[in-house]
A and B are shown apart, each in its own frame.
Chain A
């Protein structure tokens, strides 16, 4: 399990098996707008990176997050 899935699973209280790159905001009840921001804040702190406001708004799936992270690391 990679670091990102681990963080997402922990923040949303899900098993990493329930998550895939296609997991979508809006389809997952717990991934609401408040938890989205808290998730971003958590990823930023754990992985020591910063998202821009535009990136945060643009994220629709786990894959989107992964792509943004890979550009930054």
Chain B
């Protein structure tokens, strides 16, 4: 069996029939069964019309990105029955993600062409409300009968109006009703952590609504989306799939000359580089603004540039149109080392996996070198014309995550603080002097309405210091937090350099004699400050206080969690057993001494 990459390299894959043909040669089930656990996803596509080729396009695109899906395509226009019937094939399939593809004609019925031309406000509002309640009813059923997340298409605003140019004279034309329906649809699901609305109307606009419908295909085969745009439609789903699997990229690594500004600062000088409101300088200025918006969304920024450090810093400090400031960068590798060593140094400094990096460099040779040496890095093929840079970055969807927590928004700042902390540690030398000078304050708080989204997000995203790597949805966390049998703890860290925010989670199952650590994880950037010791000691104190004798822990090895491997051994646990899959079980006698670490102030709220 050939891999999807071989198949794709051998032929032009463009139209929907190409995807169908590639998919025919793939054994999706075997690929799924042999795939790593964190790359598997079961997707159900439910639609109210023919979506021939959508399943195949999505399958091929997922596999090409290293995602191994199993895709269930619901029967033609049977979506209601499948969702409402708890014993349906849909629920037997046990989807992780349900994509509900309804179109405007389906929900409009007769009013697509015939609407009451007078006094239609009440009629329109009734239609909007009943459509919304149908959809939210379906969403509720899916939540009730499965653990799946749900992605719902919104509705294409028709290009046709039965009223012609007097469409705008009506309080509620049909087009206006669809716009309103879309706005309300987004609104009702905005706070729902499991349901997302895909802006299908935006997709239709981007491909051009006239191209998005092929009337012949519609009348002949009930294709309401032209087969020509089906592959493009499947691209709208992949950012959600990557986000669900925590494959979101975390760090954007930038070259300087030719990327943040035009020209070469070492040769052209501060005045000679192109950056600012001129035809040549504007694309670079806009690119920097787009990068800044990524930073505000929690994307970590770093520099990998062959330059004299002083030349580069002069631009950051003195150029009037420089949008990005030194402080926004978590790592700056500005030197004459090769790009590959610099990439590795950046991953190490920022403490993230090399596969979380995205690399932007205008030099084709540099890109090839990085692609060859570090295929895990996503190296972007920048077009040769800088006027296309802003669009390239705007279209890059790899940083998308399912939600934005306060920690995401502050992440850039936290990494800059971390850079200062590392410098301070180098200067201080002695570790206990360093810890003392840091004045660390650890705040431990039980799960509550405010921190549950972040707790769930951390279980989804933390790969390295994570003893069991169990992923939990917000609902799971809520359930455990409300149960008397579980203790769900969050941890915040603050020190003289700043506030790292909520960066640790522990979930403990409370037995009478024995408490069991179900999950224990910390964001890597707070490691080495004794905060893990603090959280563990707190758990031991609580367990002992409630009369438990023993604390049990598990270590489930993954490709990435080596940093947590010695955690139990270091804290007085003894290994009980090792299972065939490598999972270790550990226990600790709570009678034995356990003390909070020195120099860390503990606050329990």
Contact = CB atoms under 8 A, between A and B. Distances in A.
Contact of A34 (B50, B214, B219, B226): B50
B52 A34 contact: yes
Contact of A37 (B20, B24, B217): B217
Given A41-B228, A42-B15, A13 B21 contact: yes
Interface string B13-50: 00111101100110000000000000000000000001
B262 interface: no
Given A10-B17, A45-B15, A53-B216, A38 B228 contact: no
Interface string A5-37: 000001101000000000000000000011101
B11 to A, nearest CB: 8
Interface range, B side: 20 to 34
Given A10-B21, A11-B17, A41 B220 contact: no
B228 A45 contact: yes
B227 interface: yes
B224 to A, nearest CB: 13
A11 B227 CA distance: 13
A35 B217 CA distance: 12
A29 B138 CA distance: 36
A38 B221 CA distance: 10
B470 to A, nearest CB: 42
Given A37-B223, A38-B17, A51 B216 contact: yes
Nearest to B216: A53
Interface residues of A, number: 17
Most interface-central of B17, B24, B214, B228 (chain A CB within 10 A): B17
Contact of B219 (A39, A42, A53): A53
Contacts of B50: 34
A60 to B, nearest CB: 15
A56 interface: yes
B47 to A, nearest CB: 14
B53 interface: yes
Nearest to A13: B21
A26 to B, nearest CB: 17
Contacts of A57: 220
A41 B214 contact: yes
Given A42-B15, A45-B15, A37 B21 contact: no
A56 B214 CA distance: 14
Contact of B220 (A10, A35, A42, A53): A53
A11 B14 CA distance: 12
Interface string B203-215: 0000000000010
A13 B17 CA distance: 10
Contacts of A37: 52, 217, 220-221, 223, 227
Contact of A38 (B24, B25, B52, B216): B52
Interface in A41-65: 41-42, 45, 51-53, 56-57
A33 B17 contact: no
Contacts of A35: 20
A29 B366 CA distance: 50
Contacts of B25: 13
Contacts of A53: 216, 219-220
Nearest to B22: A13
Nearest to B215: A53
Interface string B444-479: 000000000000000000000000000000000000
Pairs A-B, 8 closest by C-beta atoms: A11-B17, A37-B221, A41-B227, A34-B52, A42-B17, A13-B21, A38-B17, A53-B216
Given A37-B220, A38-B17, 9 more contacts: A11-B17, A33-B221, A34-B50, A37-B52, A37-B221, A41-B16, A41-B227, A41-B228, A56-B220
25 contacts: A10-B17, A10-B18, A11-B20, A13-B21, A13-B25, A33-B221, A34-B50, A34-B221, A37-B220, A37-B223, A38-B16, A38-B17, A38-B52, A38-B53, A38-B227, A41-B15, A41-B17, A41-B227, A42-B17, A45-B15, A45-B228, A51-B216, A53-B216, A56-B216, A56-B220
